Amino acid sequence: MSVRAPERESLMASAAPAQPAVTIAGLTKEFSTRRGTVAALGGVSLQVATGEVLGLVGPSGCGKSTLLEIVAGLQEPSAGQVAVEGRPASADRLAACVLMPQRDLLLPWRSALDNAGLALELGGVGRRGARRRAAALFERFGLGEFAAARPDELSGGMRQRVAFARTLLAARPVLLLDEPFASLDAITRAELQEWTGEALAAEPRAVLLVTHDIEEALYLGDRVLVLSPRPGRVRMELPGARGAAGPRSETVTSAEFSRLRARALEALA
Amino acid sequence: MSRAARLAREWAPPALLLGTLVAAWEVAARAGWVQDYLLPAPSEVARALVDDRKLLLEDAWVTGQEVLLGFGLALAVGVAIAVALHASGLLRRAVYPLVVASQAVPVVVIAPILVIWFGFDMTPKLIVIALICFFPIVVNTFDGLRAVDPAQAKMLRTLGADRWALLRRLELPAALPYFFSGAKVAVAVAVIGAVFGELAGSDAGLGHAIQVGMAQLLTARVFAAVVILSAMAIGLFALVSAAERLAVPWAGRRKAAA
């Protein structure tokens, strides 16, 4: 980590004059249903810089996933501004973001390796080139021996790693993670959180991490925003523990971490 | 359970039932309860199969070709229509009712007309077979294309998929199990289409053999032709099922895991 740190700083410095990777201002979203209009987001404003991980926690149904889909260019806001790398058009947002959903959504007819290389193939890289680049990442992720496995032969944790490899190989400046570990058991989740922290440290990207797990947001995030119940708006900002030295088990049991968690819980209540 | 025991458990019930039915039929025919030209004994049908094998094989060859080509035509047209219906809401509204209406057209009525248009050669038979077969292929494939998980489509879009890539990488592979369901229904009735086509006008084929056999009261030969038609349908069905296992290996395993 100490070797990598200056490199990251220089990358961030070179990006500094530009605008933040993600800018959201006064964003609202309403859905019309048979029973009338439902406000999902009630005026959210936030920014995410390149190299930063922003955690978003909030109660179920507060519009977190909707927010990510709007940033990703899959939905349009009802009002307010959203821009990715300074561009507001949905096609530009779609091109600059990659969304990792809660379910791994691996294609059952593709091997683990070919699932990971999907974005490369969609970008015009041949099957062989995609496999070569995915294989390099698989080695780093400890997935090497599972390259040829079909998704239904993998455990939940393995599948999520493959999904994460697929997300990273899309090579977009903005990563949108929507409860990426929610479907995993507690032990696997803790393991993958630690592992994700390391994987994200290697690459200077803007990351928006949506979760209902306060500990996850505080552990992985540089900053954490606590959202209110629907219609969601930012209720509180907390510093995260990202980059803390030592193993995860020490970080999340420190007094400082406990204090932050208590404050977040209070804000959620 | 041993392999032999498993095979016995799977095959014994249908074999026993079929054997009993055939035996009863044989007894009824030999006892003279029914006239020979109305219902020949199974042994007579078997004799016709052997005695007329040259004739029947030639006819089976003709019908087999018609069925394969007609079924192939139905596959191509069926998948193309399903994709078109899926791709365009306008086409869906305009064409889908016509696709359904096409199944209300009585094949018995349209087959002779096709013979007038296209003559005695293979074309009218292929059209009749395709007309009967394409419907289950269209309906099932179309349903399969629409049954794609919307979350999966969103995921692919953020990975950079355009409309065409979505179809090719997600919707078509995901629709494969549905497509095969339709193809299995279609292939089983394809044989009927061939017979209808041949009855309307032909100089060869098992339908032709049935027509001639009926006229000459060679009922055993008619039954022999039907036996061959059934065998053909079973063989084609098995072929499509085998293709399904090869093309959709993930479907069975996922079901087993669930």
pLDDT tens digits, residue range A57-71? 988 878 888 999 999
Of A183 and A5, the one with more pLDDT: A183
Beta-ladder partners of A97: A174
Binning pLDDT at 50, 70 and 90, where does residue B253 land? low
Q: Distance (Å) from the C-alpha of residue A151 to the closest C-alpha of chain B?
A: 9
Cα–Cα separations (whole angstroms), residue A66 to A73, A210, A259, B82, B146: 11, 10, 29, 32, 23
Q: Distance (Å) from the C-alpha of residue A152 to the closest C-alpha of chain B?
A: 7
The token duo for B37 is 């030209």
Backbone phi, then psi, for A27, in 5-degree steps?
A: -75, 125
Q: Taking CA atoms, what residue in A is nearest to B160?
A: A122
Q: Is the predicted pLDDT of residue A157 greater than 80, yes or no? A: yes
Query: By the CB < 8 Å criterion, does A118 face chain B?
Result: yes
Q: Is the predicted pLDDT of residue A11 greater than 50, yes or no? A: no
Query: By the CB < 8 Å criterion, does A125 face chain B?
Result: no
pLDDT for residue B133: 94
Q: Distance (Å) from the C-alpha of residue B10 to the closest C-alpha of chain A?
A: 28
Chain A positions in Cβ-Cβ contact with residue B161 (cut-off 8 Å):
122
pLDDT for residue A6: 39
Q: What is the mean pLDDT of residues A94-120?
A: 93
The token duo for A154 is 């993998």
Beta-strand runs (E) in A170-233:
174-178, 206-211, 223-227
The region that residue A255 occupies, defined by phi over 0 for left and psi between -120 and 50 for alpha, beta otherwise, is alpha
Report the distance separating Cα B108 and Cα B39, nearest Å: 25
- Write out residues 139-178 of A within 8 Å (CB-CB) of B: 150, 152, 166, 170, 176
What single-letter DSSP state applies at residue B40? -
Q: Is the predicted pLDDT of residue A217 greater than 70, yes or no? A: yes
The token duo for B173 is 């592979």
pLDDT in tens, B49-92: 999 999 999 999 999 999 999 999 999 999 999 999 999 989 99
CA angle B76, B77, B83 (to 5 degrees): 90
Query: Any idea which of A36-40, A84-88, A126-130, B144-148 has the lowest mean pLDDT?
Result: A36-40
pLDDT for residue A35: 85
Residues of B with CB under 8 A from a CB of A: 149, 151-152, 154-161, 165, 169-170, 173, 176, 248, 250-251, 253-254, 257
Q: Is the predicted pLDDT of residue A18 greater than 60, yes or no? A: no
Q: Distance (Å) from the C-alpha of residue B161 to the closest C-alpha of chain A?
A: 6
Task: Write the residue in B159, B176, B257 that is nearest to A118 by C-beta.
Answer: B159
Of B17 and B29, the one with more pLDDT: B17
Q: Taking CA atoms, what residue in B is nearest to A102?
A: B151
Binning pLDDT at 50, 70 and 90, where does residue A53 land? very high
Testing the interface with A: which of B149, B158, B244 to mutate, by most A Cβ within 10 A?
B158
The token duo for A192 is 């993958």
What is the rounded average pLDDT for all residues in chain B?
91
pTM: predicted TM-score of the whole model, two decimal places: 0.82
pLDDT for residue A5: 40
Report the distance separating Cα B258 and Cα B237, nearest Å: 27
Sign of torsion over alpha carbons A7, A11, A14, A19: negative
- Residue B1 CB burial class (10 angstroms; 0-12, 13-18, ≥19): exposed
Chain B positions in Cβ-Cβ contact with residue A103 (cut-off 8 Å):
151
Q: Could you report the predicted ipTM of this complex, rounded to two decimals?
A: 0.81
**Cβ atoms of B40 and B219 closer than 8 Å:** yes
pLDDT for residue A70: 95
Q: What is the mean pLDDT of residues A100-112?
A: 92
pLDDT in tens, B133-177: 999 999 999 999 999 999 999 999 999 999 999 999 999 999 999
Testing the interface with B: which of A109, A154, A155, A159 to mutate, by most B Cβ within 10 A?
A109
Q: Taking CA atoms, what residue in B is nearest to A124?
A: B160
**b/e code A72-90 from CB counts within 10 Å (16+ = b):** bbbbebeebebbbbeeeeb
pLDDT in tens, A133-151: 999 888 888 888 999 999 9
Residue at B141: amino acid letter: T
